[in-house]
Amino acid sequence: MSLSTSKEAGRPTRRGARPAPVKTAGPRPRSRKPAFTVRRGLAIAGFMAPAVLFVAVFTYYPMVSGSQMAFRNWNLNDLTDTSWVGIRNFQAIFRDPVFYTVLDNTLIWVVASLVPQLVIGFAIALWLRRRFRFRGLYQALVFFPWAISGFLIGILFRWMFNSEFGVVNDLLSKAGLIDEPVPWLAEPKTAMAAVVIANIWYGVTFFAIMILAALQSIPDELYEAAELDGAGKVRTLFQVTIPYIRATLALTVLLRVIWIFNFPDIIFGMTGGGPSNETHIVTTWMITITQQGDYGKASALGLVVVALLMVFSVFYLMATREKKGARS
Amino acid sequence: MRRRQAVIALGLAATTVMTALTGCSAGVSDGKVHLKMVESLTNPSRTAVLKKLIADFEKKNPKIKVDLISPPTDQADQKIQQMLQSGSGVDALEVRDITAGPWATNGWLYDMSKDLKGWAGWKDLTDNAAKYAKDAKGRTYYIPYGFYGLSLFYRTDLVKEAGFKKPPASWDELLNQASAIQDPGKRQYGYAFRGGTNANSNAVAVIEAYVADRIDRDNGFKLTSGKTIFSAPEALDAMKTYLKLFKKASPPSSVAWGYPEMVEGFSNGSTAFLLQDPEVIATVRQSKSIKESQWTTAPLLAGPSGKAVQPVATAGWGIAKGSKHKAEAVKLVEFLSQGDASTTFTKENSLVPILKGAGEDPFYRTGPWASYVTMTENPDTYLTAVQPRDASWWTEWVQKSDAELQKLLLGKMTPEELLAGWDAYWTKKWKSRT
């Protein structure tokens, strides 16, 4: 089983592009990958089996099972007839006028939440990167919202935005900014604004955490060099900081878009999709369809969501792909 | 070293898999029959009461042990559905009037008719309880444990200050009194309007009151002529009154008010009237803003004919068809549906009782509960009508009607359009079922 590394020394590496390192008297070179044998293959398969089984049972089986529901008459209120219905569930979605309201709302929900989250999160990360007293405490306070359940945040903000008893109107009134209570959750536009505000408060933390981690990887020498070259703060931000963490930013934004898109908790807690469906996004609408027992239609909507997000992800990754040598 | 690590890793993986597998088939071997019971409308104090009653049952039946499962209310019915669908893991369960129909259709509930044929408890049940214990075909899928019924919570002091001698008895009187009390400048509002989740229930209550003389009491959404209640001209009058009640006598933000806001609005003294179930009595009693002397309840509001229709809602105890211990589960259901166990459960959970004798209990004859006794003792004025909550499309209806009511309140729909849509919806649904 043991392989002699000395026999293989000097051969080109697997990539073949670079020559093998020349042997020196220094530390022993890393042992190379042993050849594949049946016994080794079985051992690898044995180790992987539990994980593969777990993923197959708990991820892929529900996914496939859920997907086939989209093409069947699968209504929990009457499971005596679960026959195949082709694309009827998809037609039901595309013919439902609520679907188009929901798509508009989802777009507003994602964009209006994402941009402020990114900007404020970035600002907080830049602030937290500096060394100052009680920095650890501030970091803990900033990251705190991420530890709270989204639904609970929804309930809290529902009371805060309550027109008659809520703290928001009370503060605005005491500050002299409003004469009479704003019916935040009763009007479509103000209701959407309220849920977006709650989501911004919640999501800023994620950007702050991710960007702070990326900022800490930037070598101080780069800033010193920029300073020597006479770059100001703004120029340093756009020509040193952002280019250096561009990959992290791109990935974080992609993750956040997908998560915000699929994040019904706050809306469900605050408005339940109302008034008159005006704050429903795709996933809150999917929950209401599930509550009706129509798992066929809900699964079809789920597949539409997956398709939309896949198309977005492909275009986004293509648009943000770093060209070779772009950073250098 | 490497071999040792490999052995440890394989051992851990095998242990994990074995633990998972054994967890799926854990058995109990103490010589007792173990019943798994699941509740749906879970809350901590209610669970505590249920546990106490179960302990009493176990004392009387030492060979039966009941394991109570209490999922969070929001997910409870979905969890119960999954358990029922798998065909095992549940014996006795809480069945709601909205879940009874679909679950029975799917063959998940056990028909207890034969087991309960000679049950002594039948004679003690109120007419309503006995009626709800059987479906249209005479099958018993659950025995109700209590009823949720509406009454009018009102502020005695505000009504008096506004110059009225007694609380409103009809919807028109409510509009009149609530409008007189409304004063937004002082943050004082007349009526705790329900515009959010389940707004349809109160809107239907108004319509049913207006068509009380012609309502089909076996299906509260139908007239005796077979048409929907929404098609009646009186329904339009009802909706116009209801809309006025919102515009003239309710907080503007109540478009979005659900149960919590309505109860909070009344409890903190902001609103003078509230139409709610008896469970709210306990909540309002805990209020620090209004004293017990400042409020009480009045019977449900009547329509122009002087009659009101109580849109009864209920839930009860049933048995899973897949249960292997049906005889023991029936014993448990019988125990919970009679005598002290039933009275304790309804009292502690502020429910309208299922037992005839409960009306004599001082608990129900005094204070805010008295209006419920008044309604029970005057069945010709306070009619009861079965709501079609067992329809498979009930949840769809609730969501649709709630959203459309909000459109009405926001001025995006007229009462005529709303009622025409509801009439068409129910007519089509009933036609498709036949």
| Of residues A76, A276, A291, nearest to B102 (C-beta) | A76
Residue B197 lies in a domain: yes
Same domain for B158 and B179, yes or no, is yes
User: Is A59 domain-assigned?
Assistant: no
Q: What is the pLDDT of residue B229?
A: 98
Distance, in Å, from the CA atom of B250 to the CA atom of B245, rounded to the nearest integer, reads: 7
pLDDT at B136 over 90: no
What pLDDT score does A34 carry?
67
Q: What is the mean pLDDT of residues A118-133?
A: 90
User: Does residue B17 lie in a domain region?
Assistant: no
In angstroms, the CA B418 to CA B236 distance is 9
What is the nearest CA distance from A75 to chain B, expressed in angstroms?
9
For residue A103, the enclosing domain spans 88-320
Q: Would you say residue B378 has pLDDT above 80?
A: yes
Q: What is the pLDDT of residue A31?
A: 57
- Distance (Å) from the alpha carbon of B115 to chain A's nearest alpha carbon: 26
State whether B159 and B195 are in the same domain: yes
Instruction: Please give the order of strands across the beta sheet that includes B151-155.
Output: B189-191, B271-276, B151-155, B295-298
For residue A328, tell me if it sits in a domain: no
Would you say residue B168 lies in a domain? yes
Q: Calculate how close chain A gets to B257, using CA atoms only, in Å.
A: 8
User: Could you tell me if B178 and B289 lie in one domain?
Assistant: yes
- Write the ipTM: 0.78
Q: Residue A130: pLDDT band by 50, 70, 90 thresholds?
A: confident
* A33: in domain: no
In a domain, B219, yes or no: yes
Same domain, B98 and B198: no
B303 and B363 in a single domain? The answer is no
Q: Convert the pLDDT of each residue in A13-43 to its tens digit.
A: 444 444 444 444 455 555 566 677 888 889 9
A66 touches chain B (CB under 8 A): no
- Show Cβ contacts of residue B330 under 8 Å, excluding neighbours closer than 6 positions: B112, B115, B116, B319
Contacts of B409 in chain A (CB under 8 A): 275
pLDDT per position as a tens digit, A183-195? 999 999 999 999 9
Instruction: Kindly report the three-state secondary structure assignment for every residue of B60-101.
Output: HCCCEEEEEECCCHHHHHHHHHHHHHHCCCCCEEEEEHHHHH
Question: Is A51 inside a domain boundary?
Answer: no
Q: In total, how many domains does chain A have?
A: 1
CA B273 to CA B283: how far, in whole Å? 15
Residue A323: its pLDDT value, please? 59
By the CB < 8 Å criterion, does A136 face chain B? no
In this structure, are B355 and B387 located in the same domain? no
Within a domain: B361:
yes
Residue A79 lies in a domain: no
| A18 domain-assigned | no
State pLDDT tens for residues A280-298: 999 999 999 998 889 999 9
Beta-carbon neighbour count of residue A218 at 10 Å? 14
C-beta atoms of B105 and A162 within 8 A? no
B132 in the same domain as B235? no
Q: How confident is the model at residue A141 (pLDDT cuts 50, 70, 90)?
A: confident
Confidence of residue A145 (pLDDT cuts 50, 70, 90): confident
Question: Is there a domain that residue A182 lies in?
Answer: yes
Q: How many domains does chain B have?
A: 2
The residue segments making up the domain with residue B239 are 151-312+370-433
Strands B142-148 vs B64-69: parallel, antiparallel or unpaired: unpaired
Whether chain A has a CB inside 8 Å of the CB on B10: the answer is yes
Residues B263, B306: one domain? yes
> Rounded mean pLDDT of chain A?
86
pTM score: 0.81
Instruction: Kindly state whether residue B5 falls inside one of the protein's structural domains.
Output: no
Query: Does residue B157 sit in the same domain as residue B85?
Result: no
Q: Does any domain span residue B337?
A: yes
pLDDT digits 0-9 by tens, B57-114: 999 999 999 999 999 887 788 889 889 988 878 999 999 998 998 899 899 999 999 9
What's the CA gap between B220 and B150, in Å, rounded? 15
Q: What is the band of B363 on the pLDDT scale with cuts at 50, 70, 90? A: confident
Structure tokens at B38: 């699941």
> How far apart, in whole angstroms, are the C-alpha atoms of residue B271 and residue A295?
40
Let me know whether B144 and B169 are in one domain: no
Query: What is the domain-level CATH number for residue A114?
Result: 1.10.3720.10
Q: What percentage of chain B exceeds 90 in pLDDT? A: 70
- Please check whether residues B393 and B403 belong to one and the same domain: yes
In a domain, A74, yes or no: no
> Could you tell me the CATH number of the domain that includes residue B143?
3.40.190.10
Residues B256 and B329 in one domain: no
Asked if residue B3 belongs to a domain, the reply is no
Q: Please name the residue of chain B whose CA is at the shortest distance from the CA of residue A182.
A: B253
pLDDT of residue B301: 97
